[in-house]
Amino acid sequence: QVTLRESGPALVKPTQTLTLTCSFSGFSLSTRQMYVSWIRQRPGKGLEWLALIDWDDDKYYSTSLKTRLTISKDTSKNQVVLTMTNMDPVDTATYYCARSFGVGDFDYWGQGTLVIVSS
Amino acid sequence: EIVLTQSPGTLSLSPGERATLSCRASQSISSNYLAWYQQKPGQAPRLLIYGASSRATGIPDRFSGSGSGTDFTLTISRLEPEDFAVYYCQQYGSSSFTFGPGTKVDIK
Protein backbone atom coordinates (compact mmCIF):
# COMPACT_ATOMS: atom_id res chain seq x y z
CA GLN A 1 0.00 0.00 0.00
CA VAL A 2 1.48 3.29 -1.13
CA THR A 3 1.18 6.22 1.23
CA LEU A 4 2.78 9.66 1.38
CA ARG A 5 2.61 12.17 4.20
CA GLU A 6 3.83 15.75 4.26
CA SER A 7 5.14 17.39 7.41
CA GLY A 8 6.53 20.77 8.26
CA PRO A 9 5.68 24.06 9.92
CA ALA A 10 2.15 25.39 9.60
CA LEU A 11 3.33 28.98 9.95
CA VAL A 12 6.45 30.69 8.69
CA LYS A 13 7.45 34.34 8.68
CA PRO A 14 8.24 36.31 5.54
CA THR A 15 11.87 35.93 4.39
CA GLN A 16 12.26 32.66 6.30
CA THR A 17 13.17 29.34 4.70
CA LEU A 18 10.51 26.63 4.58
CA THR A 19 11.52 23.00 4.97
CA LEU A 20 8.97 20.31 4.18
CA THR A 21 9.39 16.57 4.48
CA CYS A 22 7.56 13.92 2.51
CA SER A 23 7.62 10.55 4.27
CA PHE A 24 6.45 7.66 2.16
CA SER A 25 5.92 3.92 2.30
CA GLY A 26 4.94 1.16 -0.07
CA PHE A 27 7.60 1.93 -2.66
CA SER A 28 11.31 2.69 -2.91
CA LEU A 29 12.80 5.77 -4.48
CA SER A 30 15.74 3.64 -5.56
CA THR A 31 13.48 1.78 -7.99
CA ARG A 32 14.13 2.73 -11.60
CA GLN A 33 11.60 5.23 -13.02
CA MET A 34 10.34 6.19 -9.59
CA TYR A 35 9.84 9.90 -8.94
CA VAL A 36 8.55 12.13 -6.15
CA SER A 37 7.31 15.66 -6.81
CA TRP A 38 6.16 18.60 -4.75
CA ILE A 39 3.03 20.42 -5.89
CA ARG A 40 1.27 23.31 -4.22
CA GLN A 41 -2.19 24.83 -4.28
CA ARG A 42 -2.86 28.35 -3.13
CA PRO A 43 -6.21 28.81 -1.33
CA GLY A 44 -9.04 28.57 -3.84
CA LYS A 45 -6.62 28.25 -6.76
CA GLY A 46 -5.24 25.58 -9.06
CA LEU A 47 -2.30 23.21 -8.85
CA GLU A 48 1.30 24.28 -9.38
CA TRP A 49 4.14 21.80 -9.81
CA LEU A 50 7.28 22.82 -7.94
CA ALA A 51 10.00 20.20 -8.11
CA LEU A 52 10.78 16.56 -8.83
CA ILE A 53 13.50 14.13 -7.80
CA ASP A 54 14.04 10.77 -9.42
CA TRP A 55 15.50 7.40 -8.51
CA ASP A 56 18.86 8.44 -9.94
CA ASP A 57 18.95 11.65 -7.86
CA ASP A 58 18.25 13.86 -10.86
CA LYS A 59 16.34 16.98 -9.91
CA TYR A 60 14.02 19.25 -11.85
CA TYR A 61 12.47 22.54 -10.80
CA SER A 62 9.72 24.91 -11.83
CA THR A 63 11.29 27.56 -14.02
CA SER A 64 9.64 30.37 -12.09
CA LEU A 65 10.77 29.13 -8.67
CA LYS A 66 14.02 27.29 -9.34
CA THR A 67 16.21 29.90 -7.65
CA ARG A 68 14.35 29.37 -4.37
CA LEU A 69 13.87 25.59 -4.34
CA THR A 70 16.01 22.65 -3.35
CA ILE A 71 14.78 19.06 -3.41
CA SER A 72 16.66 16.14 -1.90
CA LYS A 73 16.04 12.57 -0.84
CA ASP A 74 17.08 10.14 1.85
CA THR A 75 16.39 6.75 0.33
CA SER A 76 17.18 4.88 3.53
CA LYS A 77 14.57 6.88 5.43
CA ASN A 78 12.04 6.94 2.57
CA GLN A 79 11.90 10.71 2.69
CA VAL A 80 12.03 13.60 0.25
CA VAL A 81 12.75 17.10 1.51
CA LEU A 82 11.87 20.40 -0.14
CA THR A 83 13.32 23.70 0.96
CA MET A 84 11.98 27.02 -0.27
CA THR A 85 13.87 30.18 0.60
CA ASN A 86 12.70 33.73 1.09
CA MET A 87 9.09 32.87 1.84
CA ASP A 88 6.44 35.47 1.05
CA PRO A 89 2.73 35.68 1.91
CA VAL A 90 1.93 34.70 -1.70
CA ASP A 91 3.55 31.34 -0.93
CA THR A 92 0.69 30.55 1.45
CA ALA A 93 -0.63 27.26 0.11
CA THR A 94 -1.28 23.62 0.70
CA TYR A 95 1.85 21.72 -0.26
CA TYR A 96 1.49 18.18 -1.57
CA CYS A 97 4.01 15.50 -2.34
CA ALA A 98 3.09 12.99 -5.00
CA ARG A 99 4.57 9.90 -6.60
CA SER A 100 5.11 9.12 -10.24
CA PHE A 101 6.09 5.70 -11.53
CA GLY A 102 7.19 6.34 -15.05
CA VAL A 103 7.20 10.04 -15.73
CA GLY A 104 3.97 11.71 -16.77
CA ASP A 105 1.36 11.53 -14.07
CA PHE A 106 1.00 11.52 -10.28
CA ASP A 107 -0.65 8.33 -9.13
CA TYR A 108 -0.42 8.74 -5.37
CA TRP A 109 -0.66 11.94 -3.34
CA GLY A 110 -0.20 12.88 0.27
CA GLN A 111 -3.04 14.62 2.07
CA GLY A 112 -1.21 17.95 1.90
CA THR A 113 0.04 20.35 4.51
CA LEU A 114 -1.13 23.95 4.76
CA VAL A 115 1.64 26.50 5.14
CA ILE A 116 0.72 30.07 6.04
CA VAL A 117 3.26 32.82 5.54
CA SER A 118 2.59 35.69 7.88
CA SER A 119 4.44 37.91 10.30
CA GLU B 1 6.45 26.13 -21.16
CA ILE B 2 3.29 24.47 -22.38
CA VAL B 3 0.11 26.21 -21.19
CA LEU B 4 -3.08 24.23 -20.69
CA THR B 5 -6.48 25.85 -21.05
CA GLN B 6 -9.61 24.14 -19.74
CA SER B 7 -13.19 24.84 -20.73
CA PRO B 8 -15.72 25.51 -19.56
CA GLY B 9 -14.68 27.04 -16.27
CA THR B 10 -17.86 25.76 -14.64
CA LEU B 11 -20.25 23.09 -15.86
CA SER B 12 -23.66 22.95 -14.21
CA LEU B 13 -25.36 19.61 -14.75
CA SER B 14 -27.80 17.23 -13.11
CA PRO B 15 -27.06 13.71 -11.90
CA GLY B 16 -27.40 11.25 -14.76
CA GLU B 17 -26.31 13.77 -17.38
CA ARG B 18 -23.22 13.53 -19.53
CA ALA B 19 -20.26 15.83 -18.82
CA THR B 20 -17.74 16.79 -21.48
CA LEU B 21 -14.65 18.67 -20.30
CA SER B 22 -12.05 20.13 -22.65
CA CYS B 23 -8.31 20.65 -22.22
CA ARG B 24 -6.33 22.47 -24.88
CA ALA B 25 -2.53 22.76 -24.97
CA SER B 26 -0.55 25.69 -26.34
CA GLN B 27 1.54 23.24 -28.35
CA SER B 28 1.32 19.60 -29.26
CA ILE B 29 2.01 17.15 -26.45
CA SER B 30 2.51 13.43 -26.39
CA SER B 31 -0.63 11.57 -25.45
CA ASN B 32 1.50 9.52 -23.09
CA TYR B 33 1.90 12.61 -20.96
CA LEU B 34 -1.64 13.92 -20.55
CA ALA B 35 -3.51 13.11 -17.36
CA TRP B 36 -6.77 14.07 -15.65
CA TYR B 37 -7.43 14.46 -11.91
CA GLN B 38 -10.50 14.92 -9.77
CA GLN B 39 -10.36 17.05 -6.63
CA LYS B 40 -13.03 17.40 -4.00
CA PRO B 41 -12.98 20.12 -1.30
CA GLY B 42 -10.42 19.46 1.38
CA GLN B 43 -8.95 16.48 -0.45
CA ALA B 44 -5.86 15.83 -2.51
CA PRO B 45 -6.32 15.36 -6.25
CA ARG B 46 -7.03 11.83 -7.45
CA LEU B 47 -5.65 10.46 -10.70
CA LEU B 48 -8.47 9.49 -13.07
CA ILE B 49 -6.90 9.16 -16.51
CA TYR B 50 -3.30 8.80 -17.64
CA GLY B 51 -1.83 8.57 -21.10
CA ALA B 52 -4.83 10.59 -22.32
CA SER B 53 -7.20 7.59 -22.33
CA SER B 54 -6.21 4.95 -19.75
CA ARG B 55 -8.24 4.76 -16.56
CA ALA B 56 -6.27 4.65 -13.34
CA THR B 57 -6.77 1.79 -10.91
CA GLY B 58 -10.24 1.71 -9.40
CA ILE B 59 -11.71 4.44 -11.62
CA PRO B 60 -15.24 3.63 -12.82
CA ASP B 61 -15.76 3.13 -16.53
CA ARG B 62 -18.13 6.09 -16.74
CA PHE B 63 -14.92 8.17 -16.88
CA SER B 64 -13.18 8.20 -20.24
CA GLY B 65 -10.46 10.26 -21.85
CA SER B 66 -9.67 10.97 -25.47
CA GLY B 67 -7.74 13.29 -27.72
CA SER B 68 -4.32 13.90 -29.15
CA GLY B 69 -1.99 16.70 -30.18
CA THR B 70 -3.38 19.83 -28.56
CA ASP B 71 -7.00 18.85 -27.84
CA PHE B 72 -8.06 16.44 -25.12
CA THR B 73 -11.41 15.56 -23.58
CA LEU B 74 -12.60 14.01 -20.34
CA THR B 75 -16.09 12.56 -20.54
CA ILE B 76 -18.24 11.42 -17.64
CA SER B 77 -21.00 9.39 -19.25
CA ARG B 78 -23.58 9.63 -16.45
CA LEU B 79 -22.89 11.89 -13.52
CA GLU B 80 -23.15 10.32 -10.11
CA PRO B 81 -23.58 12.51 -6.98
CA GLU B 82 -19.95 11.86 -6.00
CA ASP B 83 -18.67 13.18 -9.36
CA PHE B 84 -19.41 16.82 -8.58
CA ALA B 85 -15.91 18.19 -8.11
CA VAL B 86 -13.12 20.12 -9.83
CA TYR B 87 -11.25 18.42 -12.66
CA TYR B 88 -7.72 19.27 -13.76
CA CYS B 89 -5.75 18.21 -16.80
CA GLN B 90 -1.97 17.96 -16.54
CA GLN B 91 0.88 17.48 -18.97
CA TYR B 92 4.52 16.55 -18.77
CA GLY B 93 7.12 17.81 -21.19
CA SER B 94 10.75 18.96 -21.23
CA SER B 95 11.30 18.03 -17.57
CA SER B 96 8.41 20.20 -16.48
CA PHE B 97 4.81 19.68 -15.52
CA THR B 98 1.87 22.02 -15.93
CA PHE B 99 -1.75 21.85 -14.86
CA GLY B 100 -4.79 23.42 -16.40
CA PRO B 101 -6.82 25.90 -14.34
CA GLY B 102 -9.59 23.37 -13.72
CA THR B 103 -13.24 22.84 -14.57
CA LYS B 104 -15.75 22.81 -11.75
CA VAL B 105 -18.65 20.44 -12.27
CA ASP B 106 -21.48 21.50 -10.01
CA ILE B 107 -25.06 20.46 -9.46
CA LYS B 108 -27.61 22.30 -11.55
Question: Model confidence at B26, in pLDDT bands (50, 70, 90)?
Answer: very high
- pLDDT tens per residue, range A78-106: 999 999 999 999 999 999 999 999 878 99
Q: Are B35 and B50 in contact (CB under 8 A)?
A: yes
* C-alpha neighbours within 13 Å on the C-beta side of residue A43: 8
Please count the other Cβ atoms lying within 10 Å of the Cβ belonging to residue A81.
19
Question: Model confidence at A73, in pLDDT bands (50, 70, 90)?
Answer: very high
Query: Which chain A residues have a beta carbon less than 8 Å from that of B90?
Result: 47, 105-106
Per-residue pLDDT averaged across A4-25, rounded?
Answer: 98
- Check residue A47 and give its pLDDT: 98
Per-residue pLDDT averaged across B85-105, rounded?
Answer: 94
Omega into B81 within 30° of 0, i.e. cis? no
- pLDDT tens per residue, range B46-74: 999 999 999 999 999 999 999 999 999 99
Query: Which chain A residues have a beta carbon less than 8 Å from that of B99?
Result: 46-49
- Check residue B32 and give its pLDDT: 80
Q: Which residues contact A44 (CB under 8 A, 6 or more apart)?
A: none
Per-residue pLDDT averaged across A29-51, rounded?
Answer: 97
Backbone angles phi, psi at A77, to 5 degrees: -95, -5
Rounded Cα distance between B2 and A25, Å, is 32
**Residues 68-97, chain B: which have Cβ within 8 Å of A?**
88, 90, 92, 95-97
Chain B interface, best mutation among A35, A47, A52, by max B CB count within 10 A: A47
DSSP string, B7-54: E-SEEEE-TT--EEEEEEEEEEE-GGGEEEEEE-TTS--EEEEETTTE
Q: Are A49 and B97 in contact (CB under 8 A)?
A: yes
Rounded Cα distance between B8 and B55, Å, is 22
For residue B1, the one-letter residue type is: E
**Residues 56-115, chain A: which have Cβ within 8 Å of B?**
60, 62-63, 96, 98, 103-107, 109-112
- Check residue B12 and give its pLDDT: 97
Coil, strand or helix at A1? coil
Query: Which chain B residues have a beta carbon less than 8 Å from that of A6?
Result: none
Question: Model confidence at B37, in pLDDT bands (50, 70, 90)?
Answer: very high
- pLDDT tens per residue, range B2-25: 999 999 999 999 999 999 999 999
- pLDDT tens per residue, range B71-87: 999 999 999 999 999 99
**SS3 sequence, A96-108?**
EEEEEECCCCCCE
Rounded Cα distance between A73 and A62, Å, is 18
